[in-house]
Copies of this chain bind each other. A is one copy, B any other.
Amino acid sequence: MAKTLNVAMIGYGFMGRAHSNAYRQVSQFFDLKYLPVLKVACARDPEKIQKFAENWGWESTETDWRKVVERKDVDAIDIGSPNNTHREIALAAAAAGKTILCEKPLAMNLAEASEMTEAVERAGVANFVWFNYRRVPAITLAKQIVDEGRLGRVFHYRAYYLQDWTISPDLPQGGQTLWRLDKDVAGSGVTGDLISHAVDTAIWLNGPVTKVVGDVETFIKERPLQDAPDEKKAVEIDDACQFLCRFANGSLGLFESTRYARGRKNKNGFEINGEHASIAFDLEDPHRLLFFDHNDPSHLQGWRSIHVTGFEHPYMKNWWVPGTTIGYEHTFINSLADFLKGLETGTPAGPTFRDALPTQAVCDAVLDSAEVGQWQMVVPV
Give A contacts to B, CB under 8 Å: 14, 17-18, 21, 24-25, 27-28, 55-56, 141, 144-145, 155-156, 158, 162-165, 167, 213-215, 217, 219, 240, 242-244, 246, 250, 252, 254, 256, 258, 260-267, 271, 273-278, 283-289, 291-294, 296, 298-307, 309-310, 312-313, 319-330, 373-375
Counting chain B CB atoms within 10 Å of each CB, the highest count among A28, A263, A264 belongs to: A263
A278 contacts across to B, CB distance below 8 A: 261-264
Q: Which of B243, B273, B302 is within 8 Å of A291, CB to CB? A: B302
A155-B240, A156-B258, A330-B327 as given contacts; A265 in contact with B374, CB under 8 Å: no
A154 to chain B, nearest CB (A): 10
A334 to chain B, nearest CB (A): 12
Q: Using A24-B28, A156-B261, A284-B307 as known contacts, list a sample of 6 further A-B pairs with CB atoms less than 8 Å apart, ordered by residue number in A.
A: A14-B321, A213-B215, A244-B244, A265-B322, A301-B304, A304-B305
A102 to B258 alpha-carbon distance, docked (Å): 39
Q: Are A302 and B310 in contact (CB under 8 A)?
A: no
A164 to chain B, nearest CB (A): 8
A72 to chain B, nearest CB (A): 27
A283 to B324 alpha-carbon distance, docked (Å): 8
Q: Which of B145, B256, B298, B299 is within 8 Å of A254, CB to CB? A: B256
Q: Are B215 and A244 in contact (CB under 8 A)?
A: yes
A260-B273, A373-B375 as given contacts; A252 in contact with B215, CB under 8 Å: yes
Counting chain B CB atoms within 10 Å of each CB, the highest count among A141, A145, A162, A284 belongs to: A284
Q: Which of B258, B263, B287 is within 8 Å of A301, CB to CB? A: B263
A320: nearest chain-B partner, CB-CB: B328
Please state the number of chain copies in the assembly: 4
**23 sampled A-B residue pairs with Cβ under 8 A:** A14-B320, A14-B321, A24-B24, A145-B300, A155-B261, A164-B273, A167-B275, A217-B252, A242-B254, A243-B244, A244-B244, A254-B254, A261-B271, A263-B292, A264-B278, A265-B323, A266-B324, A285-B287, A296-B304, A304-B305, A319-B329, A373-B375, A374-B374
A260 contacts across to B, CB distance below 8 A: 155-156, 273
A294 to B337 alpha-carbon distance, docked (Å): 31
Q: Which of B56, B286, B288, B292 is within 8 Å of A262, CB to CB? A: B292
A217 to B320 alpha-carbon distance, docked (Å): 28
A25 contacts across to B, CB distance below 8 A: 24-25
A167 to B292 alpha-carbon distance, docked (Å): 15
Q: Which of B217, B299, B305 is within 8 Å of A312, CB to CB? A: B299
A332 to chain B, nearest CB (A): 10
A157 to B108 alpha-carbon distance, docked (Å): 29
Q: Are B18 and A322 in contact (CB under 8 A)?
A: no
Counting chain B CB atoms within 10 Å of each CB, the highest count among A141, A299, A374 belongs to: A299
A275 to B260 alpha-carbon distance, docked (Å): 8
Q: Are B323 and A284 in contact (CB under 8 A)?
A: yes
Q: Are A163 and B213 in contact (CB under 8 A)?
A: no
Q: Are A299 and B141 in contact (CB under 8 A)?
A: yes
A31 to chain B, nearest CB (A): 9
A155: nearest chain-B partner, CB-CB: B260
Q: Are A273 and B292 in contact (CB under 8 A)?
A: no
Q: Are B265 and A273 in contact (CB under 8 A)?
A: no
A305 to B328 alpha-carbon distance, docked (Å): 19
A261-B155, A264-B273 as given contacts; A324 in contact with B328, CB under 8 Å: yes
